[in-house]
Amino acid sequence: MEFSIVNIIQAMLAPGLMISACALLLLGVNNKYSLVVDRIRSLDEEKRRFGVTALQRELNDNEKHRLESIIMQVEKFAIRFKVIKNILISYATAIAFFIVSSFFIGIGFLANTKTVEYFAISMFLMGMVSVFVGIIQVVIEARKGYDIVMIEIN
């Protein structure tokens, strides 16, 4: 009986470790999410100031160039914001799959049926797929971030 409990705990550990790993990934992405929101707000505020200035007087070439840069950056940040949202959803979905997997691993030991074991494995694999999708989106987001920095530099 004691050996069976150890097996259950060991089998449930893998999804538990993946839950912790995804939670750490979520923490980092959530920080990016907040930073992007703050940057969009600050750029939008700067754009509004240019709008007020344009009503009062004609913008000079530097101001026009900066306004164009701001508009382009806000558009790219909006796209980046959507990608970050998708990353958060992917990691949260992965956590849900790992929780369900862990749950069915426990049920599998109690029910001792292959169907439950296959379902547990399927849920774990779906969680891994969700993590992989999130990682691909992280690469896309990094490229979008690079594009925005290049706009600012130029």
Tell me the domain boundaries of the chain: 2-153
- Residue whose token pair is 């690079």: 146
Q: 28-63 b/e with 16+ CB inside 10 Å = b?
A: ebeebbeebeebbeebeebeeebeeeeeeeeeeeee
Q: What is the pLDDT of residues 5-14, one digit of tens each?
A: 777 777 778 8
Report for 38-47, 88-97, 101-110: range of highest mean pLDDT: 88-97
Q: Say what the pLDDT of residue 94 is.
A: 96
Q: Say what the pLDDT of residue 126 is.
A: 97
CA end-to-end distance (rounded Å), the chain: 68
- CA separation for the pair 134, 141 (Å, rounded): 10
What residues contact 113, with CB distance under 8 A and at least 6 apart? none
- CA separation for the pair 154, 150 (Å, rounded): 6
- CA separation for the pair 109, 68 (Å, rounded): 62
Q: What is the pLDDT of residues 24-63, one digit of tens each?
A: 999 999 999 999 999 999 998 988 887 766 656 777 888 8
137: tokens are 């989106």
Q: Say what the pLDDT of residue 2 is.
A: 47
Contact yes or no for 11/109 (Cβ under 8 A)? yes
- Residue whose token pair is 């169907």: 115
pTM of the predicted model as reported, rounded to 2 decimal places: 0.81
Contact yes or no for 134/87 (Cβ under 8 A)? yes
- Specify whether the backbone of 112 is left (phi greater than 0), alpha (psi in -120 to 50) or beta: left
